[in-house]
Amino acid sequence: MRIRLKKMLPLLLAAAISSPILLTGCEAHGRVYDSYDHQYHQWAPESGFYVQWENENHYRHERYQRRNQNQQQEYWQWRARHNGDRDRDRDREHDRDRH
């Protein structure tokens, strides 16, 4: 029994140390609330648009969740005006690849 415990101890220690990291997840894959349209969005597809919005508005990069409610709503209003941009970019790449 004692030998088995000595062999398992490093495994248990590794699991205890890594579990908070594995259970918390990543911000990039979470959901965010769109107060403009009153719905939730997956954040991963938004991250490129979010960086573009920050650049266009001369904002320093900051996590979306840290922005105040006015800036979050400003982002979603901007995003609604740019809703088809990614689709048009994909169409242009597809056309370019075909020729």
Residue showing tokens 């573009």: 52
- The pLDDT confidence band at residue 22, using thresholds 50, 70 and 90, is very low
CA gap 49, 47 in Å, rounded: 5
Number of residues that make up the chain: 99
* 29 has a pLDDT exceeding 70: no
CA gap 50, 39 in Å, rounded: 17
* Distance in Å from the first CA to the final CA of the chain: 69
Query: How much is the pLDDT for 36?
Result: 77
**Per-residue pLDDT averaged across 41-57, rounded?**
88
